């Protein structure tokens, strides 16, 4: 009697039928084993489709997602160990998800994270099913990190990078009931950024100037004073201030060139 006939004669839930077929597979010969595995795959295709739907809208065609989910299902059927004591679904779900995530890692990035994050995600996808079967539940990030020999922070970063597949639009409302968008809340370009490097470079050079030279530079370039106002402050003519400024600027420019 074929596996299909058994399912027709005795109404069972999908979980029960899968468990019975897996038990039969343990004692079946090669040809029979292959037929049973095909039946398990057909029986659990709705599970794979349901899991693929959770990844829709992230830049990969729905049909492609289903096909990738079926590939994951086949791998789960072939890799499940009957003697581990856990249900097939606890192994199949992370295996299928891992296959879908692997597909996204290779083809679905909108914003590509660092290679180390991608490689960590691949390792996580490869071990989640095994840990599900060992633990009988979803593994914690700390357990994944211990299993892979990685830092916990590295695993958490990799698990949190899924948003790179389909990042939120800047036109998305920032509040559920508001009109302001996410983009409107982003800061603009600070005009002082262009001056920050110059200030950092000039600081040690300005410190070498005499007190009067520092005062001239401060009044002219920081306070915006006129040459007449500077001359009045330090007791010299406007023409003399002009010559002092020219010499100071030339000297600072030469020292900057040497420092570079």
Residues of the chain with pLDDT under 50: 1, 6-7, 10
Q: Do both 128 and 215 map to the same domain?
A: no
| pLDDT tens-digit series, residues 35-44 | 999 999 999 9
In whole angstroms, what is the distance from residue 9 CA to residue 4 CA? Answer: 9
Given a contact cutoff of 8 angstroms between Cβ atoms, the answer to whether 117 and 161 are in contact is yes
- Residue 217 sits in a domain of what CATH number? 1.10.10.10
Total domains in the fold of the chain: 2
Domain-embedded: residue 204: yes
In three-state secondary structure terms, 245 is: helix
**Of 149, 165, 181, which residue sits at a domain end?**
165
Domain encompassing residue 89: 44-165
Does residue 182 lie within any of the structural domains?
no
| Strand spans (E) along 63-187 | none
First vs last C-alpha separation in the chain: 85
Residue 145 and residue 152 in contact, taking contact as beta carbons nearer than 8 Å = yes
Reported as a single tens digit per residue, the pLDDT across 222-259 is 888 999 999 999 999 999 999 999 998 898 888 878 76
């Amino acid at each position: 009697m074929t596996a299909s006939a058994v399912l027709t004669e005795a109404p069972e839930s999908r979980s029960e039928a899968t468990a019975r077929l897996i038990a039969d597979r343990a004692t079946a010969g090669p040809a029979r084993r292959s037929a049973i595995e095909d039946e398990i795959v057909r029986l659990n295709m709705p599970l794979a489709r349901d899991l693929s739907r959770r990844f829709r809208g992230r830049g990969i065609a729905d049909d492609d997602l289903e096909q990738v989910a079926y590939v994951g299902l086949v791998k789960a059927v072939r890799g499940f160990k009957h003697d581990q004591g856990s249900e097939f679904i606890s192994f199949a779900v992370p295996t299928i998800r891992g296959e879908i995530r692997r597909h996204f890692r290779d083809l679905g990035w909108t914003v590509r994270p660092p290679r180390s994050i991608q490689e960590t995600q691949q390792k996580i996808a490869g071990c989640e099913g095994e840990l599900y079967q060992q633990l009988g539940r979803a593994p914690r990030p700390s357990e994944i990190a211990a299993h892979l020999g990685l830092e916990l922070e590295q695993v958490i970063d990799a698990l949190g990078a899924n948003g790179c597949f389909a990042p939120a639009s800047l036109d998305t409302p920032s509040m559920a009931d508001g009109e302001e968008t996410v983009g409107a809340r982003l800061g603009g370009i600070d005009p002082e950024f262009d001056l920050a490097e110059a200030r950092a470079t000039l600081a040690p050079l300005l410190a070498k100037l005499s007190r009067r030279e520092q005062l001239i530079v401060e009044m002219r370039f920081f306070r915006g004073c006129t040459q007449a106002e500077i001359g009045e402050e330090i007791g010299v003519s406007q023409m003399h201030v002009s010559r002092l400024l020219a010499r100071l600027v030339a000297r600072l420019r030469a020292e900057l060139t040497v420092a570079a």
